[in-house]
Amino acid sequence: MNDRLPPALTTSPFLPFALPDIGEEEIAEVVACLRSGWVTTGPKTRQFEADFAAYLGGDVEAVSLNSATAGLHLALEALGIGPGDEVIVPTMTFTATAEVVRYLGATPVLADVDANTLNLTAAAVEAAITHRTRAIIPVHYAGFPCDMDAILTLAKAHGLRVIEDAAHAFPSLYKSRLVGTLGSDATVFSFYANKTMTTGEGGMVVTRNPEIAARIRMMRIHGIRQDAFSRYTATTPSWFYEVVAAGFKYNLTDIAAAIGVQQLRKIDAFLARRQQLAATYARALRDLPLQLPADAVAGSGNRHAWHLYVVRLRPDAGISRDALIGRLCEQGIGTSVHFIPLHRHPVWRSTCQRANAEFPAAEAAFAAMLSLPLYTKMSDTDQQRVITALNNAFAGNVT
Ligand SMILES: *Cc1c(COP(=O)(O)O)cnc(C)c1O
């Protein structure tokens, strides 16, 4: 696998935390797009959306955007979220999950997560509900599905809308069903560079609600009723268009969609490799003082997408998280932390005014967690280096 890395990386002893897996197929598709004369939203984007919907079983609509953040924003917009409304989000997530609530003048309300899966729990959501609550954004943390039955039941009982942040969760299964088909109002996937598949930057909103899909299609391109490609390809004079809402500029380009079309064809192979790497870590790390990530229980029908492999130091580890990251870095191993909980960031600290002690599970996890490299371009030898470096770090024999 290493022979496919760029030269600068093959000669570097440093193993990066993440790398995209772009092959000749993606390159050829992008070149064909560039030669076609149509580079912005057009036929490739439509194909990518159709292929993505088909992957999820065909009874959903898939609407592409230039990021998952844009998708979360427009999904909330389509639900009519606005000033005075509250939206419950987990504190253990990336800032995008909360910032989109602010785009609409509404208030994100942070909730703690399950101590094992680090997913939002129905109990934490219930405790955060007020008379202003309008929606919930569960995040399928690292690619492990939230307990959506519990969350959807609670949402229904309180008349709340649900948008799944599935930035990590393609293709995760919940009770044998693909995330994206679970019956929430909308599910949002990310194709950022380090996600389980990439378009460089990009996102997809998936919904079974045709009104939500239509609203997002319009709002992603300035609130114009008809898109540029339909006007361009029309055989009758088609200069006329109407702007019916103050929209946004969130459309995916055909150049990016060309990458996506080819990445999607590889997603099952990517998943198989991620599963293999996760299984190897689980075997090789079990005697170290680490809490390994929650995995699907056999027979549950759940499936982890393994976007992230997050380990936590056990209290008896005898080394801090920061020191461990330092010792791995000294040995040329890149790691990361997912996530610094939102309640610790200055902007959300001042907006939400919540004490760290209100989020005991996220706090305990954050203090102990680090994400190990897990991506399809890693070779078995690369992974062995990570395992050896971890063993060295705990043995204290790092030179
Ligand atoms: C990456 C990520 C996003 C944002 O995705 P973009 O495509 O970069 O906008 C949102 N939520 C979570 C949990 C993420 O990890």
Q: For the chain, 399 residues long, give each residue's pLDDT as a single digit of tens.
A: 344 444 444 444 899 999 999 999 999 999 999 999 999 999 999 999 999 999 999 899 999 999 999 999 999 999 999 999 999 999 999 999 999 999 999 999 999 999 999 999 999 999 999 999 999 999 999 999 999 999 999 999 999 999 999 999 999 999 999 999 999 999 999 999 999 999 999 999 999 999 999 999 999 999 998 766 677 777 777 788 899 999 999 999 999 999 999 999 999 999 999 999 999 999 999 999 999 999 999 999 999 999 999 999 999 999 999 999 999 999 999 999 999 999 999 999 999 999 999 999 999 999 999 999 999 999 999 999 999 999 999 998 665
- What is the phi/psi pair of residue 125, to 5°? -65, -45
Which of 297, 276, 289, 358 has the alpha carbon at shortest distance from 317? 289
Q: What is the DSSP letter of 29?
A: H
The per-residue pLDDT for 13 is 83
Task: Classify domain 267-395 at the CATH topology level.
Answer: Aspartate Aminotransferase, domain 1 (3.90.1150)
Overall fold of domain 24-265: Aspartate Aminotransferase; domain 2 (3.40.640)
CA 289, distance to chain mean position in Å, is: 28
Give the pLDDT of residue 127: 97
pLDDT at residue 227, rounded to an integer: 65
The pLDDT value recorded for residue 27 is 98
Fold agreement (24-265, 267-395): no
Q: Give the residue extent of every domain in the chain.
A: 24-265, 267-395
User: Contact, 101 vs 87, CB < 8 A?
Assistant: yes
Determine the residue of 97, 120, 137, 306 to mutate for testing ligand 1's pocket, defined as the one with the most ligand atoms within 8 A of the Cβ atom: 97
User: Measuring from each residue's beta carbon to the nearest atom of ligand 1, which residues come in under 6 Å?
Assistant: 67-69, 93-94, 96-97, 139, 165, 167-168, 190, 192, 203
Alpha carbon of 363 to those of 138, 161, 270, 353, 367: distances in Å? Answer: 18, 28, 32, 16, 6
> Contact, 301 vs 152, CB < 8 A?
no
Angle value at C-alpha 20, between 15 and 24, nearest 5 degrees: 120
Out of 44, 175, 195, 249, pick the active-site residue: 195
Q: Are 174 and 148 in contact (CB under 8 A)?
A: yes
CB atoms within 10 A of CB 120: 30
Residues 6+ apart with CB under 8 A from 195: 167, 168, 170, 189, 307
Query: From the alpha carbon of 71, which atom of ligand 1 is closest?
Result: 9
Tokens standing for residue 218: 């319009």
Q: Measure the N-to-C terminal CA separation of the chain; round to a whole number of Å.
A: 28
What single-letter amino acid sits at 68? A
The length of the chain in residues reads 399
* H-helix or E-strand spanning residue 369: strand 369-372
Residue among 190, 226, 183, 228 at smallest CA distance from 70? 190
Residue nearest to atom 5 of ligand 1 (CA): 68
Q: How far is CA 214 from CA 97, 171, 208, 217, 322, in A?
A: 22, 24, 11, 5, 47
Q: Would residue 195 show up in a list of annotated catalytic residues for this protein?
A: yes
Q: Which residues pair with 15 in a beta bridge?
A: 333
The phi and psi torsions of 133 (rounded to 5 degrees) equal -65, 130
Task: State residue 4's pLDDT score.
Answer: 47
Contact 338, 371 (CB under 8 A): yes
Task: Please give the distance, rounded to the nearest whole angstrom, from the Cα atom of residue 190 to the centre of ligand 1.
Answer: 6
Q: pLDDT at position 234, please?
A: 77
The pLDDT assigned to 182 comes to 98
Of 100, 192, 194, the one to substitute when testing ligand 1's pocket (max ligand atoms within 8 A of C-beta) is: 192
- Burial of residue 24 (CB within 10 Å: 0-12, 13-18, 19+) is exposed
pTM equals: 0.95
pLDDT, residue 229, reads 65
Residue 230, pLDDT score = 72
